[in-house]
Amino acid sequence: MSLLSDLINLNLSDTTEKVIAEYIWIGGSGMDLRSKARTLPGPVSDPSELPKWNYDGSSTGQAPGEDSEVIIYPQAIFRDPFRRGNNILVICDAYTPAGEPIPTNKRHDAAKIFSHPEVVAEEPWYGIEQEYTLLKKEVHWPLGWPVGGFPGPQGPYYCGVGADKAFGRDIVDAHYKACLYAGVNISGINGEVMPGQWEFQVGPAVGISAGDELWVARYILERITEIAGVVLSFDPKPIKGDWNGAGAHTNYSTKSMRNDGGYEVIKTAIEKLGKKHKEHIAAYGEGNERRLTGRHETADINTFLWGVANRGASIRVGRDTEKAGKGYFEDRRPASNMDPYVVTSMIANTTILWKP
């Protein structure tokens, strides 16, 4: 095994200028990440320098067998924490051979919204709190839980320390450092309320980069859990009963919100979000009705409610924002399995472009 490890960790730059680019895209379910690698003649720093590529869409549920070719366009580059050196991870989106975005390509429409002059002028910032659950591979039961049984009730696990409270910290820390190495603006991690559940935060990130960074952070986490032999779940309610679900709270601000007088802009934006509550809920993740019950730090899925420092609300405004009269707010509705391209662009569209 030591020889295998040595070979995996070979530094290619000692012998060749060639680099490996891992092309990453989103599969047919909208949550399954796929990737494959190709050799490039030398280091690349801009996605425009990378060639387009293709894959068999009939094997990912994205094209029929008789016309299966899907083309992937490189959109964002990150350093590869697995191969290191000058090797890269490449976030791509998917198109037909005729150049039309395929139905699961949510990045394309998001990029249109983020390139709108009114949105560009407002410099929308996002901070996404990605919750997830680590499961035992053989039984798909949370890490640290007795097989077929349950741990003690929630309480000691949130930000907990100790072998009977924190399960999977090696995976979490490996992911944290790998994201920093890759160039993801990961801003923190913590243990969550349900044992075996964790969270990482990405941001602040501007516009479309929030989606790119969250997707590559998810990819890195999938790869690390693969190495560890642990299953990664983004299910918004992995365990029924008196256990917290998993969300992707999305913190948001615009330039107008961050400037003096921004609190009034925030309140207007929240009012707009309330008027489009049903449309947002429909786009905020599959199975979210199992999580948004009005319990376990959530508002009921059919109710729109906002408040200051209220973790049982749809939208939470922080005490610091209220006191300063400017800042940001948190949309607590998105599920852990949401598409960040959809959620971030939808918030920008509703709060900036939509004129009720």
pLDDT tens digit string along 287-313?
A: 999 999 988 888 899 999 999 988 789
Digits of tens for pLDDT over the chain (356 positions)?
578 988 988 888 889 999 999 999 999 999 999 999 999 999 999 999 999 999 999 999 999 888 899 999 999 999 999 999 999 999 999 999 999 999 999 999 999 999 999 999 999 999 999 999 999 999 999 999 998 899 999 999 999 999 999 999 999 999 999 999 999 999 999 999 999 999 999 999 999 999 999 999 999 999 999 999 999 999 999 999 999 999 999 999 999 999 999 999 999 999 999 999 999 999 999 999 999 998 888 889 999 999 998 878 999 999 999 999 999 999 999 999 999 999 999 999 999 999 88
How far apart CA 64 and CA 215 sit, in angstroms, is 26
CA angle 37, 98, 88 (to 5 degrees): 20
**pTM, full prediction:** 0.96
Q: What's the pLDDT score for residue 99?
A: 96
Q: What's the pLDDT score for residue 14?
A: 86
Q: What's the pLDDT score for residue 67?
A: 84
Burial class (CB in 10 A: 0-12, 13-18, 19+), 90: buried
Q: What's the pLDDT score for residue 182?
A: 98
- Determine if the peptide bond prior to 204 is cis (ω within 30°): yes
For residue 155, the number of C-alpha atoms closer than 13 Å in the C-beta half-sphere is 3
CATH number of the domain located at residue range(s) 117-353 in this protein: 3.30.590.10
Pick the CATH number of 4-104 from 3.10.20.70, 3.10.20.600, 3.40.1360.10, 1.20.140.10: 3.10.20.70
Q: What's the pLDDT score for residue 1?
A: 55
Q: What's the pLDDT score for residue 50?
A: 98
Q: What's the pLDDT score for residue 297?
A: 80
Any residues with CB less than 8 A from the CB of 2 and at least 6 apart, and which? none
Any residues with CB less than 8 A from the CB of 275 and at least 6 apart, and which? 356
For residue 78, the number of C-alpha atoms closer than 13 Å in the C-beta half-sphere is 28
How far apart CA 228 and CA 223 sit, in angstroms, is 9
How far apart CA 185 and CA 126 sit, in angstroms, is 11
Task: Enumerate the domain spans of the chain.
Answer: 4-104, 117-353
- What single-letter DSSP state applies at residue 218? H
CA angle 73, 284, 323 (to 5 degrees): 110
CA angle 163, 167, 169 (to 5 degrees): 100
3-state SS class at 93 = strand
How far apart CA 210 and CA 202 sit, in angstroms, is 7
Query: What tens digit of pLDDT does each residue of 142-171 get?
Result: 999 998 899 999 999 999 999 999 999 999
Any residues with CB less than 8 A from the CB of 239 and at least 6 apart, and which? 142, 194
